[in-house]
Amino acid sequence: MSIMNYLFHDTIEYFSKTNKQPLIFKQWISMVPFVIYDFDAELLMGTEINVTRGSEKYQTIKNTPLNTPFKSLLFNVVVPTIKKQYVLGLVERDFNTYTIWSVFIDKSGNINIMYFNDDKLSSPENIDRYVAIKGELIKMIEHIHDYRSAEDKEVRSKSLLNDNGKKSYYKLNQIIYLTKKNHQENVEKTIKKKVEWTHSYRVMGHWRTLEPGKIGKNQEGNYIVPGFTWVKDFVKGEGELIEKIRIIK
């Protein structure tokens, strides 16, 4: 899989050519993507709702604030073993108010995009989809703490965009790769280049999912939150600290 085949690239071109979701499009081209290589297919997301409406897990995900390591996130998950990938992302629009989305290829080969503003959920079906995507984002954020990271600033990739009938290009100059420690060589073989796996970055405080029935801590350290616990900010990884700014203006 070459750098030009990432799904977030195809989605940016789709937004540009169709003139759909201009706000999301503007946000996406400002982000540095996390590309997660999942050789064990642990993060493979299905397209079906996997949380039963009204269940305890459903209510917990729905009602728990979506506190994340960054103000905005763009995950492109690649599962090389079965040649699948999908995209998850979010942007904080206001204090603790988010737009979240998922992108995947449907059975017909079309790009399928779902996005929601968490303060403007109208129908039960939209709430179901929102809860499913939010649950996947929570799981994703948990996994990145266990992965090794590498920053690639030598990416030379661009996509053709439609700028009011004029041709322009979206240029990608940086990617952050994430994978398990034992799969670092597999990533390098896939992207056909060596990268340095010793970078670290600052992770903001966020919620972590617990096993069913467990009680976690709130931001003040009190054990009163069912199903989730608050994780304080910390530095992830080893080596030089990379301060990443992902606030969308």
Are the beta carbons of 152 and 178 closer than 8 angstroms?
Answer: no
Position 243 pLDDT exceeds 60: no
The alpha helices in the chain, defined as continuous H runs, are: 7-18, 22-28, 56-63, 124-144, 184-191
Please determine, for residue 2, whether its predicted confidence score (pLDDT) is greater than 60.
no
* C-alpha closest to that of 90 among 63, 75, 72: 72
pLDDT score of 181 more than 70: yes
Tell me the per-residue pLDDT of 37-59, one tens digit each, with 9 for 90 and over: 988 887 766 544 456 777 887 88
Nearest-angstrom CA–CA distance, 29 and 16: 11
Domain boundaries, the chain: 3-199
The answer to whether residue 67 scores a pLDDT higher than 80 is no
Of 81-95, 170-184, 209-223, 225-239, which gets the smallest average pLDDT? 225-239
pTM of the predicted structure, to 2 decimals: 0.73
Mapped to the 3 state alphabet, what secondary structure does 93-124 carry?
A: EECCEEEEEEEEECCCCCEEEEEEECCCCCCH
In which residue are the tokens 């931001």 written?
219
Provide the mean pLDDT of the chain: 77
Produce one character per residue of 172-208: b if its CB has 16 or more CB atoms within 10 Å, e if not: beebbbbbbeebbeebbebbeeebebebebebeebbe
Asked whether residue 215 carries a pLDDT value surpassing 90, the answer given is yes
Say if CB 76 and CB 28 are below 8 A apart: no
* % residues pLDDT > 70 (the chain): 76
